[in-house]
Amino acid sequence: MQDQLDTLVGPEGEDWRVPVSELEARQKKLAEMLTNQGHEAALIQTPVDLYYYSGGRQNASLLVTAEGESRLFVRRSLSRAKHDSGGDNSPHSVEAFPRMAAFKEEIGCTPSMQFGELPHTFATRFAAKVGATEDCTSIVHSQREVKSSWELEMMAEGAEVQMAMFEAVAAVGGEGVPEIELVAAAEAVSRAAGFGGNVQMRRFPLQCDRGVIVAGRAGGVPSFFDSAIGGTGPHPMASMGSGFTKIKPNEPVLVDLVHLHRGYVVDMTRMFVAGSLSETWISRLEDMIAVKEEVVDTLDQGLDCSEAWRRGHALASELGHAENLMGMAPDQSRFLGHSVGLQLDESPVVAEGFDRPLPIGGTMAIEPKVVHTGGSIGSEDTWVKDEDGMRPVTADGAIPWVTEW
């Protein structure tokens, strides 16, 4: 079995496991937060958070106590869980899951659970077995808002792949090319670089297309997804993102691409056109860049995310875009940026209700866009706030706002 596990490497033979030092630091921080908020222990069971704290996403439950003890109970696969956790250097024990009737006695405590994310039936049945009533979801979310230097390295590496994705779109696009062929070209680059196939979401229904490329009027089609851009999708079951709309001359083609490197999201949008955009569309784009700069500047000052929303929205309204900002009524989204990490929709968000600043180490995709019946246009980059303020993780000015075919 070990020979088989030794094949679990990156494209150049790299060890792509989460460093043991990262897992140790995360578990230690969680224990401190549990102590500070009066929780005896936390039981981590969502796939994303199992990866974050234990290094893998097997069918398992990770117990972290306020005293700092960590135990991973695995239903399947035990050998894979041991490997992903760091092997003999794992910061936690890796054990076979006991009989459910004996689990409460085995752990010897009453843990808090992730009620805010777990499916209701699963959570209710499990909680009844261990006597859990307290929710630790917000503690986990709060910890994950602040990215480590290693996490930021992962995002920077992901941004390099994302640049190649946009280059692929530039190479194959042009008049008459269907949206879906452009997405296929971008996703081939992402997949070859190690994208695992799923964009993780917190918010039900937990679905998102990694690449949203919409041409002309398709850019004005709304979807179920709470975002400025919907798109037709290829069919009603896949009713967002790119479909079979073909690129027409001088129409805006919005390209919104996500890449995940070793689980970590980077998100960026640029505009393309077969020919050239009209002065009207160029003016709209320039206005959205101005709104982006207003949001970035507000966050850079350390002001609340809700204040960044108010200032960005006020500027967009002053420029005449209130009815088209982030969609058209009744399908307008009420945000201008969303935090990213292991999930696309992390907190905080540039929106009302988030009355706190983006923390040092916070990473956020800032994406003001306007939507009209004839198409959509805007900009997006992923940013990090460090000790010196806001700086781009993705291309920012390294890729032009508009590329002409």
307-345: pLDDT as tens digits:
999 999 999 999 999 999 999 999 999 999 999 999 999
Second-level CATH architecture of 2-143: 3-Layer(aba) Sandwich (3.40)
Query: Token pair for residue 332?
Result: 């307008």
Residues 6+ apart with CB under 8 A from 87: none
**Taking the model in full, what pTM does it have?**
0.95
270-313: pLDDT as tens digits:
999 999 999 999 999 999 999 999 999 999 999 999 999 999 99
* pLDDT value for 241: 87
Spatial contact of 155 and 393, defined as CB atoms under 8 Å apart: yes
Query: Token pair for residue 152?
Result: 């930021």
Spatial contact of 197 and 182, defined as CB atoms under 8 Å apart: no
* pLDDT value for 211: 85
* pLDDT value for 1: 59
DSSP letter at 115 equals T
Peptide bond into 249 cis (omega under 30): no
Q: How far is CA 348 from the centre of its chain?
A: 12
195-209: pLDDT as tens digits:
988 899 888 767 776
Q: How far is CA 302 from CA 145, 218, 308, 312, 359, in A?
A: 15, 37, 10, 15, 8
Listed by start position, the domains of the chain span: 2-143, 146-404
Question: Domain 146-404, CATH 3.90.230.10 — does that match?
Answer: yes
